[in-house]
Chains A and B, each alone.
Chain A
Amino acid sequence: MSAISERKYVHPDVLVSTDWVEQNLKNAGVRLVESNEDTLLYGTGHIPGAVHVDWTIDLNDQVRRDYITRGGFEALMSRSGITPETTVVFYGDKNNWWACYAFWVFQLFGHTRAKVMDGGRLKWEKDGKPLTKEAPAYPKAAYRARERDDSRIRAFRDEVMKHVDAHRPLVDVRSPEEYTGQRLHMPNYPNEGALRGGHIPGAKNVPWSMAVRPDTGEFKTASELESIYIQGAGLKADQDIVAYCRIGERSSHTWFVLTYLMGFTNVRNYDGSWTEWGNLVNVPIEK
């Protein structure tokens, strides 16, 4: 795979290589954050100095279906030794699926000094770079966050309804089987409670994993991404676009690709996604 700087991304500085991370392991201005689907994975070995963000308890409200509040985010930053000036580098399993999810939540609170390690855990391990079970300890940091801003990059049900009525573009990043309603869940995953199958009317199906190389977990080049999302799905960089999946994690990966690697200016993630839409009464569904 070519170097990040040669892939012609619109915002290439949002990605860092595994080599860059290795060279910055002792950089006090950089904090590595590992976020995985399997929250036990971090404990089996992680990049030295990386803190763990457990999406199940660190990013989500424990009562309502919602994300943490400003106070919760400030507490997470404080115990992770992260200040507003810290550059946070996210990585994780599943081709950075959950890393992009954490990245997206951090953007709700405006932490823009954020990057993703290209290739995630897969690339780091394939490169034979070191892992440790030693949990880092950082002094508590002072972090004053802004209130969570759900208006720019997050979409809610009623907004999506208006989006559909206005015939604006949607991207369904689930598997083709989920998109067509052939199944209610990802292949090899159990059903997570959606009563109806199919997709939101008008949505184009572009599975999230098309944006990465399966052998290394690295993001595809800009021209490859353009052939998928622009020539293939007919999306345009200046459109108002909503991405969704099942609970908003896979679509945060696509949100990242469209926004940072391709420079789309108005992409929102509908985190209610199919577990909300597929259970709503009297909403339109296509198969």
Chain B
Amino acid sequence: MTETEVVPAKLTALLEAFDGITDTEERMSMLASYAGKYREVPPAIAVRPYPEEARVPFCESEAFVWALPAPGGTLTLHFAVENPSGVSAKALAAILEKTLSGAKAGEIAAVSPDIVTRLFRQNISMGKGMGLMGIVQRVRDLARLTLRGKSTP
């Protein structure tokens, strides 16, 4: 496995679907529907208070990420968003779980934080956008740690 693999096909397909949405209301509705599908990390993996090493730095929505190695060099991703008003963070967490969880670590490591811009366009503040990019970056960092044989939170 390397970090130069292409991103998971599920994510590519979803991004292309979002690229085709030109209506702002439709885009927001789609993102909100993903937020409704957000699933918090199961207690078997982590319970509150969540460990600081799983926290996404500079995410005002108080997001946490876990990446657990699974057979075949894949990763299972889990998320928690502690800010109840962090709807955008929940939407992104649900999207990442749906499209990246179960993919190979190398594929996940190839995902760029720029996907936040493709998903949310201008419907987000710079600060929140950078916080969301931090979630993607955290997922990518965990995948890279796995590739290097290091344990992840």
- Provide the bound-state CA to CA distance between A100 and B28, in Å: 23
In the complex the two chains form, is B31's CB within 8 Å of A40's CB? yes
Question: Within the complex, which residue of B29, B85, B126 is in contact with A93, where a contact is CB–CB below 8 Å?
Answer: B85
* Cβ < 8 Å to B, chain A residues 178-200: 185-186, 188-193
Q: Which A residue sits closest to B90, measured CB to CB? A: A40
Digitize A29-64: 1 where CB-to-B-CB distance is under 8 Å, 0 elsewhere. Answer: 000000011111101100000000010110000100
- Provide the bound-state CA to CA distance between A121 and B62, in Å: 19
In the complex the two chains form, is B130's CB within 8 Å of A192's CB? yes
- Provide the bound-state CA to CA distance between A54 and B91, in Å: 18
- Provide the bound-state CA to CA distance between A44 and B85, in Å: 10
**How big is the B interface, by class?**
20 to 34
Q: Which B residue sits closest to A54, measured CB to CB? A: B123
Q: Name the A residues within 8 Å of B62 (CB-CB).
A: 188
- Provide the bound-state CA to CA distance between A41 and B86, in Å: 8
- Provide the bound-state CA to CA distance between A57 and B123, in Å: 7
Q: Name the A residues within 8 Å of B22 (CB-CB).
A: none
Digitize B1-42: 1 where CB-to-A-CB distance is under 8 Å, 0 elsewhere. Answer: 000000000000000000000001000110110011000000
In the complex the two chains form, is B122's CB within 8 Å of A62's CB? yes
Digitize B69-86: 1 where CB-to-A-CB distance is under 8 Å, 0 elsewhere. Answer: 000000000000000011
> Closest approach, in angstroms, between the C-beta of B94 and any C-beta of chain A?
12
In the complex the two chains form, is A38's CB within 8 Å of B87's CB? yes
In the complex the two chains form, is B134's CB within 8 Å of A190's CB? yes
In the complex the two chains form, is A38's CB within 8 Å of B86's CB? yes
In the complex the two chains form, is A56's CB within 8 Å of B122's CB? yes
> Closest approach, in angstroms, between the C-beta of A231 and any C-beta of chain B?
32
Q: Name the B residues within 8 Å of A94 (CB-CB).
A: 85
Q: Which B residue sits closest to A58, measured CB to CB? A: B24
Which label, helix, strand, loop or mixed, suits the secondary structure of the A interface?
loop
In the complex the two chains form, is A185's CB within 8 Å of B24's CB? no
Given known contacts A189-B60, A189-B127, A190-B131, is B122 in contact with A40 (CB within 8 Å)? no
Given known contacts A188-B60, A190-B58, is B126 in contact with A40 (CB within 8 Å)? no
Question: Within the complex, which residue of A38, A44, A57, A190 is in contact with B24, where a contact is CB–CB below 8 Å?
Answer: A57
In the complex the two chains form, is B35's CB within 8 Å of A40's CB? yes
Q: Name the A residues within 8 Å of B127 (CB-CB).
A: 185-186, 189-190, 192
In the complex the two chains form, is A41's CB within 8 Å of B85's CB? yes
* Cβ < 8 Å to A, chain B residues 116-152: 122-128, 130-131, 134
- Provide the bound-state CA to CA distance between A38 and B125, in Å: 8
Q: Name the B residues within 8 Å of A44 (CB-CB).
A: 32, 35-36, 87
In the complex the two chains form, is A190's CB within 8 Å of B130's CB? yes
In the complex the two chains form, is B124's CB within 8 Å of A39's CB? yes
Q: List 27 A-B contacts (CB under 8 A).
A: A36-B85, A37-B85, A38-B88, A38-B128, A39-B28, A39-B123, A40-B32, A40-B87, A40-B123, A41-B85, A41-B87, A44-B32, A44-B35, A54-B123, A56-B122, A56-B124, A57-B123, A94-B85, A186-B60, A186-B127, A188-B62, A189-B60, A189-B131, A190-B130, A190-B131, A190-B134, A191-B130
Kindly list 18 other residue pairs between chains A and B, CB separation below 8 angstroms, not including A39-B123, A57-B123, A185-B58. A37-B128, A38-B86, A39-B88, A40-B87, A43-B28, A43-B32, A43-B87, A44-B32, A44-B35, A56-B124, A56-B125, A121-B85, A186-B60, A188-B62, A189-B60, A189-B131, A192-B130, A193-B126
Interface residues of A (CB under 8 A from B): 36-41, 43-44, 54, 56-57, 62, 93-94, 121, 185-186, 188-193
Q: List 4 A-B pairs, minimum CB-CB distance, nearest first.
A: A190-B130, A43-B32, A40-B87, A190-B58
